[in-house]
Amino acid sequence: MGIYLNPSADGLAEILEGGPYVDKTELIAYTNSVLGISKKLTCFSRPRRFGKSFAAKMLAAYYSKGADSGKLFADLKIAHTKDAGFEKNLNQYDVIFLDIAWFISNSGDIKSTVDDIQSEVLEELREAFPDCVRENIKSLPKALLQISAKTRRKFFIVIDEWDALFREAKEDAELQKSYIRLLRGLFKGAQVSQYIIGAYMTGILPIKKYGTQSALTDFREFTMLEPGILAEFVGFTEEEVLNLCAEYGIDFHETKKWYDLSEQ
């Protein structure tokens, strides 16, 4: 059994220790600002190597009741950002963290991925919330609703690479439909606000690429072409690259040529 419910801060700790680390923790100020309101569902779509998974692990470490991450954030920007709700929301929520690519890689048969997600998370929920989830319940959204009804607790859900199943099972329409039913159950409907305080998903391509608008229309999506107010929190800004080059003794203009074809 993995740890999908209330993960520790180990993922963030490894990132900070691995270096070099560029501080993107002010993203938390935004997610705090939309907790529990109609804009509480956020999706960030970017190509690979833009730090999406780093951000997902950071948010899980910040919100998770299973983490004690105050010391990890103490020297980071968010801890010193005025009116960001840092202390108020630190390690205050039940977090469910799902890495869809991991589920696919560790499934004996990709067709069982959706069933695996639900059964494995349900196992942890039953252990953490005994007597809250009826034994005949096989649906993750129904289980979350039952838990919330009995405990009044809400969940913050983090899904990394939510679209991995679409990419890995391009021709399996039935599996895709099953997955969309799960996402629709989790994030769409009048009862969702009873058990979800917020959500953050990452993906490679925009939601509309997969024709899933009907299931995920409640998400506010930030894409490569329309990054909106969160542009600086995924990938490096020019100022950040300048600072990194200065720190490690690398020529900035040479570095820019690696990534900017107009310079070649």
Flag the least confident range among 102-111, 123-132, 215-224. Answer: 215-224
Select the more confidently predicted residue: 169 or 224: 169
**Contacts by residues 173-179 (CB-CB < 8 Å, ≥ 24 positions apart):** 175/110, 175/111, 175/113, 175/114, 176/210, 178/114, 179/113, 179/114
- Give the strand order in the sheet containing 94-99: 94-99, 155-160, 196-203, 41-45, 220-222
Residue 200's identity, in one-letter code, is: Y
Average pLDDT on 56-62 reads 96
Q: Which residues pair with 203 in a beta bridge?
A: 45
- Give me 107's structure tokens: 């499934």
How does pLDDT run across 61-97, given as a tens digit for each residue? 999 999 999 999 999 999 999 999 999 999 999 999 9
User: What confidence score (pLDDT) does residue 50 get?
Assistant: 66
> Hunting for tokens 């067709």 — which residue is that?
111
Helix axes 238-248, 252-259, angle to 10 degrees: 130
221 in Cβ contact with 207 (< 8 Å): yes
CB atoms within 10 A of CB 109: 8
